[in-house]
Structure 1
Amino acid sequence: MDYTNMTQTEQKSSANVSSVFTHQVLPVFYSIICTCAFILNGLAAWIFFRIPSSSALVVYLKNMVVADILMLFTYPWRVAGDLGYGGLQLKLIVCRYTAVLFYLSMYTGITFMSLISLERYFKIVSGTSGVSYLLQRVSVAKALSLFTWAVMMFFMLPNTILTNQPMPEVFKCMNLKSELGRRWHEVSAHFNVGIFWMAFMLMLFCYTSIACHVYRSLKRVQRERSEARRRSNRSIFSLLAVFVFCFVPYHICRVPYTLSQRRKAGFSEYNHFILFQLKETTLFLSAFNVCLDPIIYFLMCRTFRESLLQKMFSVNRQNGRPSIGTGLSITIL
């Protein structure tokens, strides 16, 4: 690739970094998280879909499991493409289908994270009266879930349909898009970034309010309840911590990278290269979310936690091991 304003040595060095990092190092990391996430999310799905949808929280968490499994399905395709298997046809499948599914699943999961924070806010801070009671109903949660999937599909699926150009001489996903496809790609990218920052602001508000409410409530009890306070805070902030770690870095660099994909934006080839490396690195953090979400399920959902522990103790009893945790009482929110 011809990088503007770079010496020949710098061009060669940059090309080597791109080859080693994006085509050798990242595929190994994706393979590792794919294996771990397959086990964790398989277990989560096995437990969750044996649990009735008895609350809005369970409905949203089940939808998060579905989004994570769909997202996880795209990793093997990406790994195979980055390692050079399958040729241009596999890269075409990645650009047209699995990359779109990846982003559809990721932003759907982000939306459900924000809905979970809103549900927790209404349940803990607002109680069960008026609008808060309505939004905690299972039927309303199911309707919001369907609406979320419908809106995300409306914005994302055209990226598949409009990736319809003949195979270019220089293969890039953007070169496979029509002019309308390039414009829709930019619109959908900015829409997704807007969804992210709205979700982030909503989660900050909800969890700050919850933390203040819990602190005021626990301040009135005896000091020996400090352990319960610590567990409550750990449960409250687990989702926010995962959200910040996985998604904030990527969204800081996504907007300039999206602009750099259109030559009219005034980015040099070298700047585009740097933004691409940053985008790929931070995107990996977003992909790592599928390994951390099962921790959220365990900390936030008592039904999920009790079902998992019950299965573990049942296996221990079948293997002749003492079930030391049978009488365990967990007080996390």
Structure 2
Amino acid sequence: MNGEWMNVSLLNTLMGNVSNNSSVANELVKCFHNDDAFKYHAYTVTYLLLCPVAILCNIGALAVFFLQGNRRSSAPCVVMMNLALSDGSFSLTLPLRLAYYFKGGVWDFPDWLCRLCVFGFYVNLYTSILFLTLLSALRWLAVNHPLRHRDLVTPLRTLLVCLGVWLFVGVSSVPFLTGGVTYREELPRCFEPSSPSSWVTVLIMNYVALALGFLLPFLTIIVCYSQIVRTLQSRFEGESAATARRRSDKQRRSVRLVAMVTATFLICFLPYHVVRSLHLHAVCGGWNCGITVALQRAVVVTLCLAASNSVVNPLLYYYSTGSFRKNMRNAHSSLKKGSMRRNNTYVPPKT
């Protein structure tokens, strides 16, 4: 109760500070908007690199998943297909973001597209986090409780859980649809809060997203990882060398999957959530201009890392799933053979 009261008290204080000192808040906003050149350059370079890779990798991943036949209906495959769909959908908004930053922060598209781009980023961010958490939980259940996994985990139930994730994140992100194009310096802008009071709204939403969308999933993954490693180590104790070798492949896949998911959290998601929270407190709390600008730059860098999860996840499919690698090689061989047949087709000479 005391912690809840302190959070409410802090938010009320921040809201009071912003409303009573709107001139200070406006000066802070101007302060870090003067550093727009760094932001635009960083986002342009990042999205130029991410856009083609993310689109090709995620569309290719979906194609490979569909080629997997019976394997396609397994629970991990269902989750990975939803993850690829989330990343692929986000990657399709990157050309709009690129056009915006190429024009120096001028939005020449309809207002609803601006809202959709903002909404799409957060939907992708938190569906990715929750789908990765679900993958880790499924692996934990398969390793630590195989009988329960066999009875409980079915493709249909997994699909329903995935639909629940989409619904939960989509509904939670609806407030981002309310803020569209704003005008600053008489130019249409996107991806910017409209007023100092809206920064406080974003700060409140940040608390909710931090707790439910990051900390809880991250703790779940850490627990899953530690339990999986402990279980696999205990199983190897007292086993013969031949049995241990037979289990080694499964052990490597399990540890590889959860280790890669943990690395994704540490590299893509953790820095962004920490720096974003500090930056919002700097703006709403009226911190020093120099500190605010430094945090703004840190937010830009960590947001680029967060966006890069759309190209990191396909690596997860490749290195943690043997059937994915096999079908990818088969697809490549089929394309290669088809190309060779077309090149070797006899064309009669013209008479």
TM-score by length of 2: 0.75
Aligned partner of 1:200 in structure 2 is: 218
Match of 1:211 among 229, 250, 259: 229
Q: Output the amino acid matched with 1:283.
A: L
Residue 183 of structure 2 aligns to a residue whose secondary structure is: coil
Structure possessing the higher radius of gyration over alpha carbons: 2
Q: Could you say if the C-alpha distance between residues 243 and 147 of structure 1 is closer, same or farther in structure 2, counting changes exceeding 3 Å?
A: same
Q: Aligned partners of 1:27, 1:144: CA distance in 2, in Å?
A: 36
- Aligned mate of 2:124, from 90, 98, 105: 105
Task: Map 1:1-333 to 2 at 5 A.
Answer: 18-19=36-37, 21-51=38-68, 53-84=72-103, 87-90=106-109, 96-129=115-148, 132-133=149-150, 135-161=152-178, 163=179, 167-169=183-185, 173-176=191-194, 184-194=201-211, 195-219=213-237, 220-222=239-241, 225=245, 228=249, 233-262=255-284, 265-318=285-338
The worse-fitting range, judged by mean Cα deviation, of 275-284 and 233-242 is 233-242
Larger RCO of the pair (alpha carbons < 8 Å, separation 6+) = 2
Coordinate RMSD, CA, aligned: 3.4
AA partner of residue 200 (structure 1): F
CA distance in 2, matches of 1:320, 1:97: 43
Deviation at 1:177, TM superposition (A): 6.0
Question: 1:172-211 CA deviation, whole Å, 9 max, x = no partner?
Answer: 75543695x6555333322222211111111111112112
SS at match of 1:79: helix
The 2-side partners of 1:148 and 1:98 are apart by 19
Q: Distance in 1 between matches of 2:33 and 2:192?
A: 20
Q: How many residue pairs are counted as aligned between the two chains?
A: 306
Mind listing any 5+ residue stretches in structure 2 that lack a counterpart? 1-22, 26-30, 342-351
For residue 203 of structure 1, give the secondary structure of its aligned residue in structure 2: helix
SS at structure 2 position matched to 1:87: coil
Q: Any idea what SS the aligned residue of 1:128 has?
A: helix
Change (3 A) 1:51 1:184: farther
CA distance in 2 between partners of 1:86 and 1:133 (Å):
52
Q: In 2 relative to 1, CA 178–89 (structure 1 residues): closer, same or farther, beyond 3 Å?
A: farther
CA contact (8 A) 1:159 1:184 kept: no
Decide whether the 8 Å contact of 1:57 with 1:116 is kept in 2: yes
| Mapped partners of 1:222, 1:273: distance in 2 | 59
Cα distance change, pair 90–260 in 1 and its aligned pair in 2 (3 A): farther
Distance in 2 separating the partners of 1:267 and 1:196: 26
1:208 is aligned with what amino acid? S
Alpha carbons 2:269, 2:306 under 8 Å: kept? yes
Return the TM-score normalized by structure 1: 0.79
- When residues 166 and 117 of structure 1 are mapped into structure 2, their CA distance, relative to the original with a 3 A threshold, is closer
Change in 2 beyond 3 A, CA 1:3/1:276 = farther
Contact 1:100 1:157 in 2 (8 A): yes
Cα offset for 1:239? 2.1
Which residue pairs with 2:9 in the alignment? none
When residues 172 and 75 of structure 1 are mapped into structure 2, their CA distance, relative to the original with a 3 A threshold, is: closer
Percent same amino acid among aligned pairs?
22
> Residues of 1 paired with 2:103 and 2:338: CA distance?
46
* Corresponding residue SS for 1:167: strand
Structure 2 residue identity aligned to 1:107? Y
Alignment check: 8 A CA contact 1:36 1:291 kept: yes
Matches of 1:47 and 1:146 in 2, distance apart?
Answer: 21
Q: What is the letter of the counterpart of residue 169 of structure 2? A: M
CA pair 172-232 structure 1, distance change in 2 beyond 3 A = closer
Range with bigger deviation, 32-41 or 57-66: 32-41
Shift of 1:221: 4.0
* AA aligned opposite 1:292: V
Moved more, 70-79 or 281-290: 70-79
The residue that corresponds to 1:326 in the other structure is none
Provide the rounded CA distance (Å) in 2 between the counterparts of 1:167 and 1:138: 47
